[in-house]
Amino acid sequence: MSSTLHTLFESLQRRMRPEDVAELVLTELGPELTRSQTNLLTKAACGSLKRGVHQLSSMAQDFERPTPPLRKTRKASELFTRAPVLSDEDAADVEKVSAFVSQLGTEIRKQFQKSDFAGDRLNKEARLSAGLEISRRRYNKLFRFLARFEEKLETYRLEQRKYEATRIAKSSLATRLSWADFSKSRDAACFIAYFTARRNRRSVFTNSSQDRALDEIADMLLTRFKEHPCTEGWRAIAHVLPDVDVVSHLPDADKMNLFVTWLAVLHDIADLLRRTWERSRFDRSTMVVQRGDDSSTWNTTAGAWNAARQGWLGLAHTLGMHDAVDMMCLGKVMRLMASDVVRWHARSGGGLEPDTLIWAELPPPWEVLTGRQRCTRSYVERVCRKHGVDPELKGWTSHPGQRRAVPFSPTPELVHGVVVSHPQLASALKKAGWFSGKSGKEFDDDVGPFVVRRDEQGAVLDVTAVEVEETRH
């Protein structure tokens, strides 16, 4: 297999711009493409960093990953005489670090997760009986270190779960796709990489809907695969596009495996939603962010829930599990909205999204999944009709229907969702704290003039750098 295909596979774990992935697709498929297909891909590739005017981007090409406890593992090697050596790669693995901490505890006869300083420490007699020939001061130091390490580990475990939720919200199961399935069909691989890049784009600050991920280029690549399909290719595509017309091509065993995977994801996300809900105070009937709400975690997990729910519904439909959905109809989860966006939407003539009213009236879906509350398909249908919503068209009781591709649109430089014309200007605005909801700082001297464009309600639409003509002498 070509190195380009490997790069496309690696892009699933990153956040490459669609333009840069289109450049790789052109390299991989090259002469096999028709003239119209080449022209379509070139429309995107001409904006790649390789060809672009600026050849740089202010936006990170990766998702922010949780920081592994490297310092703790290295310090443990200094403090404990029988501490095993952990590589940096192993120190990023939660389960390996957990086993590492548990093994460290045996050196001072401490049980894992028994860390109460008053009740779980050994007294002098118990230490002597256990053969611990160390001072009380050193024993206490090691005990405290392990207790704090365990707290750090639990925080890291939670952050890993949030990171996984972020990836699922953006690109479904793309990060779990195996190389064997990805590489079986080059056409499927190119579609998956490009479509994933489209899904991974950042949200634009707007009071209307976001640009859809399936554009004319993704649609063309999917059509190419359909001309020469294979089971492995369909299985790979189902990881990023779990729609009914895709998963219906899978053998029943593959359908069931994906169904079980999505169900496990739903259970994990349900726990994160419940935790966030219990420590927040937002109003389900409005979903407007209040001070103290963890909107970042909520919106990430809500996005992951909706993506997992969509995959679960599609597979339940193709597996003929209609009775199961009739009895346990899991609802969508609405994201929290910033109050300024809500006001902007209202001033522009918009009202509260009916889906919010439906979400507020239905039982919390994490309570339904765990069996604490009941929510049937017929009840969801009644609530939807009460608020003037078609339950099937809006995806409340069934998987969404036909997809519609949109024209390709270039990936903008963004600063907290605001479109900025130039990557260097975007970097300067970000550094100065603009559009972050906090007071901005002064710019560096090398920042040139720019124009902030606003709509009639005063909301920022975009920022454009102004070219200054040099004075001739």
Question: Is 400 exposed, middle or buried (CB count within 10 Å of its CB: 0-12, 13-18, 19+)?
Answer: middle
Q: Helices (H) and strands (E) in the chain — how many of each?
A: 21, 4
The pLDDT assigned to 348 comes to: 75
> Mean pLDDT of all residues in the chain?
91
Q: Which residue has the tokens 């090398």?
A: 446
| Residue-level pLDDT, tens digit, the chain, 473 residues | 789 999 999 999 999 999 999 999 999 999 999 999 999 999 999 999 888 666 678 888 899 999 999 999 999 999 999 899 899 999 999 999 999 999 999 999 999 999 999 899 999 999 999 999 899 999 999 999 999 999 999 999 999 999 999 999 999 999 999 999 999 999 999 999 999 999 999 988 877 788 899 999 999 999 999 999 999 999 999 999 999 999 999 999 999 999 999 999 999 999 999 999 998 888 999 999 888 888 999 999 999 999 999 999 999 999 999 999 999 999 999 999 888 788 887 777 777 889 999 999 999 999 999 999 999 999 999 999 999 999 999 999 987 767 899 999 999 888 888 888 878 888 888 888 877 777 777 776 566 778 887 777 666 777 887 765 554 54
The set of residues, in sequence order, having a beta carbon less than 8 Å from that of 62 and lying 6+ positions away, is: 14, 15
Residues 232, 256: Cα–Cα separation, whole Å: 15
Q: Taking the chain, what is the end-to-end CA distance rounded to the nearest angstrom?
A: 59
What is the tens place of the pLDDT at every residue in 84-140? 989 999 999 999 999 999 999 999 999 999 999 989 999 999 999 999 989 999 999
Q: What is the pTM of this model?
A: 0.89
Residue with token string 């009895």: 327
> To the nearest whole percent, how much of the chain has pLDDT over 90?
73
Sequence-ordered list of residues with C-beta below 8 angstroms from that of 105, at least 6 positions apart, any chain:
111, 112, 146
Q: Which residues contact 110 (CB under 8 A, 6 or more apart)?
A: 120, 143, 146
pLDDT per residue as tens digits for the range 266-284 = 999 999 999 999 988 889 9
Asked if 272 and 301 touch (Cβ cutoff 8 Å), the reply is: yes
